[in-house]
């Protein structure tokens, strides 16, 4: 996790580029992030990381242990704290960082908690087709059907898809592109959807699969490869 920020999902909108093309984006408030602590490989912690805090909080709403940890680093009370290992930017406790950590065109991974859906049936939770609606089938339109076996093993198999609690789990959406960086407003406009409801906290980290400086591979069609081979064979001297 070389680079990362804590943020808050504000909502969705769309933006236009110079050619008039529209792009749907998610607006994320990504600052200010305060550096609370810097851990090093040579220190007592034994690894490199940076601890960031986001969103101001009243001191009386924090536990004494957490408040003591923040005060030890000469920091201010915050609502969210996140540690990022192997942070590639040189920072020190007390520094303020924001959305300028990323640039337009960079790819990021967004980590958030999905919306809670409550108790749901198999059709909504697992996309089952449901039972037949005709030929005398009564009461089976939204049911899953049989879940057990006969004599062996005579029990419900582990991992069987059944009704239950849906949503409210941590999910990561990868390879989202940054469309705009608004430094004055501490905003990142990110192409695509991010897990969570409006107002939820999210983690924006540098993409693992597409880090900064990544460029899409150049694809060459099979026809062009074949034509290049023919041209090379024709240009080669005959023995």
**What is the tens place of the pLDDT at every residue in 100-146?**
999 999 999 999 999 999 999 999 999 999 988 888 888 889 999 88
Mean pLDDT of the chain: 90
- Determine contact, residues 122/160, Cβ cutoff 8 Å: no
pLDDT at 233: 72
CA dist 204 → 74, 89, 177, 185 (Å): 25, 15, 11, 17
List strand residue ranges (DSSP E) for 47-186, in order: 49-56, 78-85, 96-97, 107-113, 116-120, 164-167, 170-182
pLDDT at 222: 58
Q: Report which of 5, 17, 53, 1 is spatially closest to residue 186, judged by C-alpha positions.
A: 5
Tell me how many degrees the CA angle 34-37-26 measures, rounded to the nearest 5.
40
Main-chain dihedrals φ then ψ at residue 6, nearest 5 degrees: -95, 140
Range 80-97 average pLDDT: 92
The 10 Å CB-count burial string (b at 16+, else e) for 153-162 is: eeeeeeeeee
Range 57-66 average pLDDT: 94
Tokens of 196: 């969570």
The 10 Å CB-count burial string (b at 16+, else e) for 12-37 is: eeeeeeeeeeeeebbbbbbbbbbbbb
pLDDT at 235: 72
Cβ of 109: how many Cβ atoms within 10 Å? 19
Tokens of 183: 């430094």
- 237 has a pLDDT exceeding 60: yes
pLDDT at 85: 93
pLDDT at 132: 87
Rounded Cα distance between 57 and 41, Å, is 31
Range 190-197 average pLDDT: 94
The 10 Å CB-count burial string (b at 16+, else e) for 212-238 is: eeeeeeeeeeeeeeeeeeeeeeeeeee
Q: Report which of 191, 168, 166 is spatially closest to residue 178, judged by C-alpha positions.
A: 191
Could you tell me the fold of the domain covering 4-116+168-235?
Answer: Elongation Factor Tu (Ef-tu); domain 3 (2.40.30)
pLDDT at 223: 58
Categorize the per-residue pLDDT at 224 as very low, low, confident or very high, splitting at 50, 70 and 90: low
Q: Which residue has the higher pLDDT, 151 or 227?
A: 151
Q: For 154-183, how does the pLDDT look when each residue is reduced to its tens digit (9 = 90+)?
A: 889 899 999 999 999 999 999 999 999 999
* Structural domain boundaries in the chain: 4-116+168-235, 117-167
- 238 has a pLDDT exceeding 70: no
Range 183-190 average pLDDT: 95
Q: For 14-34, how does the pLDDT look when each residue is reduced to its tens digit (9 = 90+)?
A: 999 989 999 999 999 998 999
- 239 has a pLDDT exceeding 70: no
- 212 has a pLDDT exceeding 90: no
pLDDT at 139: 84
Cβ of 108: how many Cβ atoms within 10 Å? 27
Categorize the per-residue pLDDT at 46 as very low, low, confident or very high, splitting at 50, 70 and 90: very high
């Amino acid at each position: 996790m070389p680079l990362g920020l804590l943020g808050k999902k504000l909502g969705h909108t769309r933006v236009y580029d110079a050619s008039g093309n529209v792009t749907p984006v998610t607006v994320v408030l990504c600052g200010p992030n305060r550096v609370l602590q810097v851990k090093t490989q040579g220190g007592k912690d034994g690894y490199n990381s940076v601890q960031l805090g986001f969103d101001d909080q009243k001191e009386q709403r924090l536990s004494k242990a957490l408040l003591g940890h923040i005060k030890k680093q000469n920091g201010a009370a915050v609502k969210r704290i996140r540690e990022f290992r192997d942070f590639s930017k040189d920072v020190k406790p007390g520094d303020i960082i924001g959305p300028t950590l990323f640039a337009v065109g960079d790819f990021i991974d967004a980590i958030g908690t999905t919306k809670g859906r409550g108790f749901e049936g198999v059709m909504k939770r697992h996309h089952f087709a449901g039972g037949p609606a005709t030929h005398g089938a009564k009461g089976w339109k939204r049911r899953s059907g049989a879940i057990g076996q006969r004599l062996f093993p005579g029990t419900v198999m582990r991992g069987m898809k059944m009704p239950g609690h849906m949503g409210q789990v941590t999910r990561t959406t990868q390879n989202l592109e940054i469309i705009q960086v608004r430094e004055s407003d501490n905003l990142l406009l990110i192409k695509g959807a991010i897990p969570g409801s409006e107002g939820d906290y999210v983690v924006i980290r540098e993409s693992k699969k597409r880090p900064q400086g990544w460029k899409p591979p150049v694809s060459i069609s099979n026809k062009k490869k074949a034509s290049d081979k023919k041209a090379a064979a024709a240009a080669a001297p005959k023995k």
